[in-house]
Structure 1
Amino acid sequence: MLTLKVITENPEEVIRRLAKKHFDGKEIIGKIIDLDKTRRSTQVALDANLAELNKISKSIGALMKEGRKEEAEAARAKVSQMKEGNKEMEATLRDAEQQLHDLLVLIPNMPHESVPEGTCAEDNVCEKMGGIMPELPGDALPHWELAKKYDLIDFELGVKITGAGFPVYKGKGARLQRALINFFLDNAREAGYLEIQPPYMVNADSGYGTGQLPDKEGQMYHANLDDLYLIPTAEVPVTNIYRDVILNEAELPVKNTAYSACFRREAGSYGKDVRGLNRLHQFDKVEIVRIDTPQHSYQSLQEMVDYVRTLVEKLELPWRILRLCGGDISFTSALTFDFEVFSAAQKRWLEVSSVSNFESYQANRLKCRYRTESDRKTQLCHTLNGSALALPRIVAALLENNQTPEGIRIPKALIPYTGFELID
């Protein structure tokens, strides 16, 4: 969440930048400033009262020793009265702090100045494109038909076992999944990321730390009895490793990678755009996470974007990078780049990665800080994460783009992982 310091020092700037996300912050920012004034003035009065109370309490013993019992009793009465007043001020302070917290978590992160104006995905800006567009025959099949033809993925069986959005991978389909996971993890390790194997369930504190709660609880699967949430991405448990942690500046940037199954309710999803692997409730993904200093985080963001580009290039997929506009960027992100690959049989672009800098927004929730080398003071870190990569739409594009009369060709970089060159 945004810090009180940022909001109170330049409220007009905060309101202006939030407007790019189509968030009208004028009223809520005004309430926060008023509550902060109440909190500060109450704290000053309480501190003064406590100091006076301490002084009077110390004087009672001296008065009794001097035989000035009436004055001592009057002092005791005053102490009792002041304690009651302090209780009222403490209650006012707690109430103001709780109200401040409840309002602060409702405010999205401020977008970076480079975030373009816009209201929806159509307003995102294409930064770069690459790769060779495949030329397929007119009778080319979409991936869900290819999956059935070659017995790779059984969508109906997934419905029987669980429900829609939970496919069953079989034979070479399952081997392709495992190959991609290992390929992505090996590439991340070679790029300097430490591999983590995280839990697939997190507590509410973890969901709050990375911003999934309270904003997106409706999109998360909740195990009510234990009050645990199935993770929507490995970002949540991996970033929470650094909750309530103070790192040394020399340790940054921290670079982690993790494979996990991901679980998303995707409430309201329907239509042709969710056919096959296009949108699932359970899917596999390899995530990259960085913890960095504010001075270096945007260099880290560019390095992460460049790294994800190498993955789609190795997979020989046509790709493009989009800078998300204010209306399409997430609640917690300051700047996001989406990667899309072209799905030739569907004749559409499919998002396969989002790479984001959250600046100090998550770190403030997490209390993730670092100690500077120069003066040993603590500051909030910047957190970043990206998909590297999400499997379902990668698989969809690989199947569709590489179909031939002989079968489905496997990209050269993947053959050592699959153990086969062709799905036939």
Structure 2
Amino acid sequence: MNIFELVTMALRTIMSKPMRTLLTMLGVIIGVGSVITLVSIGQGTTAQIEKQYESLGTNLLVVNLLGNGRATQLDYDTIMELEILPEIESIAPTVTKSGSNVKYDRTSESFNVLGTNDRYFSLMKTEIESGREIVEGDVEFRSQVAVLGNTAAETLFGRMDPVGQDINIDGIVFTVVGKLKAKGSSLGGTSPDSSVIIPIETARRTFKLGQIRTTYLEAPEIDQLTAAQNTITQFLTAKFKSSNGFRIMNQDELMNARKEASSSLTNQMISVALISLLVGGIGIMNIMLVTVSERTREIGIRKSIGAQRRHILTQFLMEATVISGLGGLLGLLLGIAASLAWPMINPSQPTELSLEIGLYALLFSVLVGVIFGLYPANKASRLKPIDALRFD
């Protein structure tokens, strides 16, 4: 028999019991569908990360101070003195108070309070929707003013313009002077959208936030980024008498770190999905062993009229392969549908389909059928005609 006849016979046989066939394919369907969906989510996340970082430019540095105590502290004025260097365009030190209770009228929510200066907005490429940004005078005079991220503003005020309104942050009254347009995740992972931004010295003194932990710096051009990083490294090493109290990361390093974290999580989830495929393979082997037992007399009759061992082996192996292949095809369609539907369920999480991964998953499902169908097919082919005909 040729391959077409074998496939036709296999389809006719497995379709005679559709429910059992569908249940047998279920593990393969779930496995392939999960792999495609998870890979599309992972690739969508990677593309989103690249887009976010590209929107910030490529000439940014992030300095994180790691140590505790006065020996590893920098005050605001000392940090800002570095702006006189030609390789540094602007500097935005920040302090953060997580989970602050922000209240307007009867609405109360928890947001991050970010203390920074006027340079932060240009460094993060944020845009004002209404009002103004924090200005240098706000920092100098420790004004109790606030700029609301888009999410924070809409949560507290809805469609109302918040500019000029007073909000209460952990019992302290601030006047809203601006509202930002939606931005998304920023450098270092903190989103301005869900933040309340206030002058840095106001934040430090009002909420007793202590030392500055994170500082953003911008070089005039991308080709000056290395010089700026070397200058900051030398300055902090001399200041702290050690290179262990701080960490400096550039745009590429931060992007790669986030991509690696996302890729690692995706790979772990794919591994779990592949286990589902293997479980599906075991299910196929189990049902094929049952099929061999049910069709023992058929095997005996075929052998008695001249069918050779390889014919029986090929027939049952083809049935297992067709079951897993159909399961893989249904899983492929399920994965594509889930990948397209996922952004509708979770708009903040894009997906990106990969035809190559889909093809690999389909071929792997067929391979699972071949591997796990080999033992039942071999068992069927080794049956002796006389014993098979006696089987009741």
Q: TM-score range by the shorter chain?
A: under 0.3
Higher-Rg structure is 2
Q: Normalized against structure 1, the TM-score is what?
A: 0.24
Normalized per residue, the structure richer in helix is 2
Normalized per residue, the structure richer in strand is 1
